[in-house]
Structures are given as structure tokens and as C-alpha cells.
Amino acid sequence: MIDYEEDEKFSGPMMQRTKAQLGTAYAPGAIFTFESNLVICRSKPASSYTNEQMNGYAKDLILMSIDEVMTKWLEAGMRITDSEIKIEPEMCIDPNALRDNKSRLTEAKALFAFAQPSQMGYEPDLLSFVCTHCRDMRNFSSLRNFEQHSKGLAKSCEARDDGGACSWQQLDIVFIHPNGNYTAPLPYIRKYDEKNGMVTGLRRCNCGSYEVKLIRHGAQIGKYRLRCAECKTIRTGRSEFWLQNDKEYLELIKTRANEHPYFARMKPISARSNSVFYARTDMVIDFSGEDEKLEMISSNNNVRITQWLAEKFELPVTKVSEGEMKKAVTEALGVEAWRDYEGRLKALDMQRKYLDMMSEQEKEFLRLTIIDIEEKLNQIEREWEKQGVIKSETAIPESIREMLNNRRDYFAPKYDPFRLSAEYDVLKDKVITTALMENGLAHYTALDKLDEHIGPDDPELREQLKSDHRKIMDQIGIEDMGLVRDFRTITYSYGYTRVAATPVTSYINDKPVPVRLRLFEKTKFTNLTHQRHPIFVLNQSNEAIYVKLNEVNVRSWIESLDTSEKLTDELIGLQYLKNIKPMSQYLPEIHTTGEDKPAMSLAIYTLVHTYAHHVMNAVSEYSGLGSGSLSEYLFPGDLSFVIYRKGMTMDMGNLTSIIRNNAPAFLEYLHTPRNLSCGSGSLCTSRGGACPDCLLIHEMSCIAQNNLLSRSVLIGNGHPGKYGFKEPIPGYLEIAFKAYHAKN
């Protein structure tokens, strides 16, 4: 037999797929069927890519997110303590991401380069063939090997009465391992030979024959067997299983594989199965252009962040005295900088003195002049504070300062409340409250503020529709909701896993094994001297539905929960920051052990997240889009979220059509409790009120991997299964409905 493990290279052609597909389902390392499902292939990167120039904020956020994922992934794998085999870092993470001593990770900025997934290569793989008549099996190590030896396939078939040739079909089976390795079915089992100190396999039967036949027992792939064509001896292990071991792990643990067979054992599965390839993908909002808030967050300017928080939540700010300011500015920037500022101060004082002596018409002009001078002085002071020349004291709670100082340790980037709050402000400034796009259409159209482009042509009918929408929105606790016509995102992918999409799996005998996060293989980039691992980025401009919950209703709902933190008169966003629990990459690790009451921040996140899934189901119902083509972005501290289109296909107007044609029915769907019912009934409710039959969606579409979800937070009748919830809770929709009728 030909050794499948020969290491030969083959340069294949490029495939024709959409960019979105090439960056995910067909990214490097993917195994898929091609050419009308007749040929199994493997994706590989092109020989060279153009080094993509990225927006500074987006670039920093993507690299920081990947750093955080790799760090938490490695930590999760290394925490396996009930394994009989010592866990090494290279079992958990791609060895290329580890430094020479393997104790630390290399920073993402040194590993990756950005590329558009416009080209992706492929080559046929898993070159095991079986005759559909006689069940003979042939195996080839590579395409080159296939070209050299495929003539042997043209043989007469012993199972055909007409004397015809064998009818060969590629075997749709692959053996995969959590470390990312895979192999085609082999007519022998790999074992570690202690005598020779190497991994071997008996390639021929004791009778001397190399020929094998595939024997199928039922539909379960794991019960297929290979037997010798001559003496009919089973060649694939115990008769009830089809076994194979991973070569790398055998070389690592050697003879201990006999004592702990689960560790090196590979899993036989269809090559079309999802578990063969899980692409690591994520998304960031594409904020084009420079913005002071994003720069502040990206540079970790805590002084400026606290000032911004004070402004956002209207907290008192104590500025330094004029004398202290003069001394600090003069020492740091020189006398001229202070003289310019002082001259503006004197001009402001003079204008204020003139104000009482002017007529009303003159006063109005003078007030504008005073405002201009004040804004310029504030701008100068903010710049000095940004440079660290002066420092104002803000009444920021100490718990927020602690979270701010440790936010990279406490929060994954996509859960970082400070980042999300700043991004929300930028989204609101640049999109929600911006009047018009270049084509004359509104960036954002609220359901209760329809315009002639999206509402009825008849003004009276449009006004009536706006009033009806407002009425239903008030009943379901929504302050603002509408269509975002241009929601820009950057979707990116950088690696993959096999067997499971989590850092640890127990796929055999419930024994934990680390799942290796593998990076896409290195390739060349223009303008770079060394090869890099690619990050495939895809800029998209899609429609979205923006929703902001009513803060008064949220406050009433939190009061009804009796949370572990006392509700105050402060803004909900400020209290969310004061009381937030650390949220790492893996939300099930949130520490709430022993708490008898729900944490306020987790209750708020669960409410916003669950409502987002409810809206997503409504969008899917009335747009014709599947939930897999939608995704979410949450701003829990601001009680807001966005549901957006992930793809770039010809159905781009589907969200617009909801608002134009089905808005009343769409809102009524959200208003109707039975649309939050579940086919699993009380069982689902008792387990937290979220299952695939009601709220759960594909994990690639959910920003929190379907954690922190519960129908109970919307309709009551139970409570979330963890995070401190112990007793049945009222639903937010119930409270909003009662509040509306109390006013009307």
C-alpha cells in the first residue's frame, strides 16, 4: 500500500465563490465537496495576497480581540486537571503562535497580516476510493502519487458478471482529531513501536496481502470495518469499531497511548460534517474616519475616558484652579501657550461685561460670540488634559475606576462596557442622529418618524401609521426603533478548530482533551518581507434594525427583581458600569457562585440580549431571511442593540421591506406573547427558557454564543437557570404593558 503520510506539495487552481464564503466556509483548512459533490477537496490560501490597509481603530480592535481569544483559549486548555496526560501549550494553540520557550504567546501584530478573501486555492484530498460493486479499497498519499499509480484502478471487478471494470467512488469519510489533524481512512491502525521508537502501522495482512475491502454494518460510520481481501481478517481494530490514532499525539505520548487510548484516538465522521471545520470568525463595526472617543478607548487614555463618562452621565467635574493651570501649562508647554489661553479668558470676561449694556438684537449676536470663545477654551483644556498637562477631578465611582484600570483583564473586547459605550455614542452621532446620506436618504428612519421614502405617500395615512407604531412601541417597552440604511461592519476570520468549537472537548469516554486553535497557514504578502498568517477581512455595508429600550420600564423591571445591588436614582448606564461583573471570552465562567440574588449587570445584559433574539426572530419571520444570515451587536449599558444583515446578496432590501410593507405586523409579532412560546414547554422554562425551538440561534450569529438568554426575562413564567436567579421573575413585556395602560 501507498503511505498516506508522504509530505508532497501540489499547487491547485483557485475556486470561484463569494468573498463571504471564502473567508468562512471555504477558508484555509476547510474540507468540502466540489464538482457536484463528486470530489472532496481541501482549501488552501493563494500563493500571495495584497497587504490590506486597515482603519486604525478597527485594526487595533481586531488584533487585540485575537490576542484575547488566544490567551483565554490557551488558559482554558491548560486548566485541564483530570487528564492522565500532561497538557502542553502546543496541544492548545498553534505552535506558530508560541514563542521559543512555549511559555508565552506571540502578539497578534507580529503574526498576522490582513487580506481580502478574494482568492482561495483548493486541491482534491482524502484520496481513498472504494468500488461500489466489490467494495475493494484503494488509497493514495497525494495527487502526484495518484497520477503515478491510478492506472491500477482500471481493473476487472470480481463482483460484476459482465466482466466490467470496478466503479470507483471517493470515500466520504475523514478521521479528525481535536488538535486539528485529519487523515483519510487507512487500511491499518497507527501505533507507537517502542522497539523502533517510531509510529508504525501494519500495512499488509499476516497472510501477505495488501488488498482490503470496506464492510459496512448499518449507517453508523464508526461501525464500518476494513478486512483483508484474501483471508478476511479485520484490519481496523476491534470488530465493533473502526479505529485510528493521531500520529502527532502518538509521537508525543508514545506508549502511554496504550494506557490512555482516548487521548490519541481520532473520530471517524462524514467529510461533510460541521465538526470537520469550525472557522474562527468575528465582527467589528466599521467606523470610517477618525473619532476622538474611539481614539480615547483604543489608546487607553483613562484620564480622558473618565472625563467623557462624567459628561455622559452628568457627573460633577472639579477643574484645577487658574493658578495651578498656569503653572502646569507654563512648565510643560511654555509661556506662549498660556498667554494664548489667558488672552481668550480676558476676551471672554470682556464680552460678558458688555452683555448687560447691549440691546436685545446685539445681545443675541454677543451670546453666539461668547459660546464660540467658551467652546475654544474647553477644546484647549481637553487637549491639555489629553496630553496629561492638567488633570481635572471627576466624581467617578471607585468601582468604575477599578474596572477601567483593569478592563483588559476583566473583559473580552466584545463585552468591554467602556468600549461598547463609546462605540454607541459614535454610532448615535454618526448614524442615528445624522440627517442624510450622500444619496439624500436618511441614515436612520424611526418607525414613529416615517418619511416619504419609506412610509405611505399619503401624508395623513403616514401620520396615522406613525401614531400606531408609537403606541405599540410604548406597549412593548421600546423607546426608539427603526431602519439603519448603511450599517458598516468588518467581518474577519483567522483560524479554525476541528471536532469542537470550544477550547476543551470530551468526545471520547467523557475524558477532557484540549482543542487546538489553529491559525490559517502562512502565505506571502506584498510589501512584507516575511510570510504571515492571514486575517481575512470583509467590509460590508448592510441594512440593520436599531432598537433602544425604555429606561423607565427597565428601571421598573430591575426593581421587581430585587437584584444583589441596590437600584439608585442614577442613570441605568452608570449603575451598569458600577456593578458590572467581569466578562471574559467564555461567559459560562462568570463568577456568581453562592449569590442568592441576580446581579444587576447580568440581568440587564440578559434582557437586552434576549430582546435582540426576539427581534431577530421577527425579522426572520417578515423578511424572508434565515436567522443564519442575521447577527447582533449589543450595547447593554445603553439598553440598545442592532440586528444586521451579514451577507452581501441580492436580497439587500429585505429589511427596508419590513418597515415599508409590514411594520405593523412586525411590531405586533413582538407584542404577542405566544411568539415567545416554545415547543419544549415547561422543560425549556425550567432550564432557563432558551432552546433551539425558541431563542437559540446558530452560535456564529450570536455574539455571546447563546449564553445569557431566557424567555423568562420577557414574559415571566420562570427564571434564568443560573447567574443568581432563584425565584420566578416578572417579564419585561408585562411591566411595559402595565406601565402603558397606567398612563392611558
Spatial separation of the C-alpha atoms in residues 114 and 68, rounded to whole Å: 18
Spatial separation of the C-alpha atoms in residues 25 and 22, rounded to whole Å: 6
Residue 55 C-alpha from the chain's centroid: 19
Helix (H) or strand (E) holding 482: strand 478-497
Domain end marker among 256, 279, 302: 279
Spatial separation of the C-alpha atoms in residues 77 and 74, rounded to whole Å: 5
Q: Cell numbers for 664, please give them.
A: 405593523
For residue 262, tell me if it sits in a domain: yes
For residue 381, tell me if it sits in a domain: no
Query: Is 352 or 30 the better-scoring residue by pLDDT?
Result: 30
> How confident is the model over 378-407, as a mean pLDDT?
82
Residues 399-410 have pLDDT tens digits of 898 898 888 888
- The pTM (predicted TM-score) of the whole model is 0.80
Q: Note whether 270 and 417 are same-domain residues.
A: no
The alpha carbon torsion through 557, 612, 693, 716 (nearest 10 deg) reads 10
Burial category of 207 from C-beta neighbours within 10 Å (exposed 0-12, middle 13-18, buried 19 and up): exposed
For residue 104, tell me if it sits in a domain: no
Q: Of 44, 111, 65, 175, nearest to 411 (Cα)?
A: 65
* Residue 10 confidence (pLDDT): 42
For residue 365, tell me if it sits in a domain: no
* Residue 42 confidence (pLDDT): 92
Q: Note whether 273 and 414 are same-domain residues.
A: no
pLDDT over threshold 80, residue 69: yes
Residues of the chain with pLDDT > 70, as a percent, come to: 92
| 415 contacts: CB under 8 Å, gap ≥ 6 | 583, 584, 587, 704
Q: Of 671, 651, 663, nearest to 619 (Cα)?
A: 663
CB count within 10 Å of CB 702 equals: 20
* Residue 168 confidence (pLDDT): 87
Q: pLDDT tier at 592 (50, 70, 90 boundaries)? A: low
Spatial separation of the C-alpha atoms in residues 24 and 730, rounded to whole Å: 40
Q: Of 277, 253, 308, 572, nearest to 419 (Cα)?
A: 308
Q: Of 444, 430, 459, 431, nearest to 659 (Cα)?
A: 444
The alpha carbon torsion through 613, 619, 624, 629 (nearest 10 deg) reads -50
pLDDT over threshold 80, residue 134: yes
Cβ(305)–Cβ(295) under 8 Å? no
Residue 693 C-alpha from the chain's centroid: 22
* Residue 37 confidence (pLDDT): 65
Q: pLDDT tier at 647 (50, 70, 90 boundaries)? A: low
Most confident of 303-307, 651-655, 720-724: 303-307
- Look up cell 509530505; give the residue: 7
> How confident is the model over 277-301, as a mean pLDDT?
85
> How confident is the model over 61-75, as a mean pLDDT?
91
pLDDT over threshold 60, residue 438: yes
Q: Is 432 helix (H, G, I), strand (E, B) or coil?
A: helix
Lowest mean pLDDT among 105-119, 236-250, 537-551: 236-250
> How many distinct structural domains can be found in the chain?
2
* Residue 2 confidence (pLDDT): 36
For residue 393, tell me if it sits in a domain: no
Q: pLDDT tier at 648 (50, 70, 90 boundaries)? A: low
> How confident is the model over 7-27, as a mean pLDDT?
76
> How confident is the model over 324-353, as a mean pLDDT?
86
> How confident is the model over 75-99, as a mean pLDDT?
88
**205 is in which domain, residue-wise?**
19-49+121-279
For residue 354, tell me if it sits in a domain: no
Q: Cell numbers for 598, please give them.
A: 441576580
HSE of 92, CA atoms in CB hemisphere, 13 A: 24
Lowest mean pLDDT among 123-127, 414-418, 565-569, 655-659: 655-659
Q: pLDDT tier at 532 (50, 70, 90 boundaries)? A: very high
Query: Is 476 or 655 the better-scoring residue by pLDDT?
Result: 476
DSSP state of 675: G
Q: pLDDT tier at 206 (50, 70, 90 boundaries)? A: confident
Cβ(475)–Cβ(737) under 8 Å? yes
Q: pLDDT tier at 4 (50, 70, 90 boundaries)? A: very low
Residues 316-329 have pLDDT tens digits of 777 777 888 888 88
Spatial separation of the C-alpha atoms in residues 697 and 111, rounded to whole Å: 32
* Residue 6 confidence (pLDDT): 41
Cβ(478)–Cβ(548) under 8 Å? yes
Q: Of 647, 540, 539, 522, nearest to 53 (Cα)?
A: 539
pLDDT over threshold 50, residue 71: yes
Q: Cell numbers for 341, please give them.
A: 489661553
Q: Note whether 411 and 271 are same-domain residues.
A: no
For residue 475, tell me if it sits in a domain: yes
Domain end marker among 279, 299, 334: 279
How high does pLDDT run on average in the chain?
Answer: 85
Query: Is 382 or 398 the better-scoring residue by pLDDT?
Result: 398
Domain end marker among 224, 258, 279: 279
Residues 221-245 have pLDDT tens digits of 777 888 888 887 777 665 556 788 9
CB count within 10 Å of CB 593 equals: 7
For residue 229, tell me if it sits in a domain: yes
Cβ(229)–Cβ(213) under 8 Å? yes
Query: Is 702 or 586 the better-scoring residue by pLDDT?
Result: 702
Query: Is 645 or 626 the better-scoring residue by pLDDT?
Result: 645
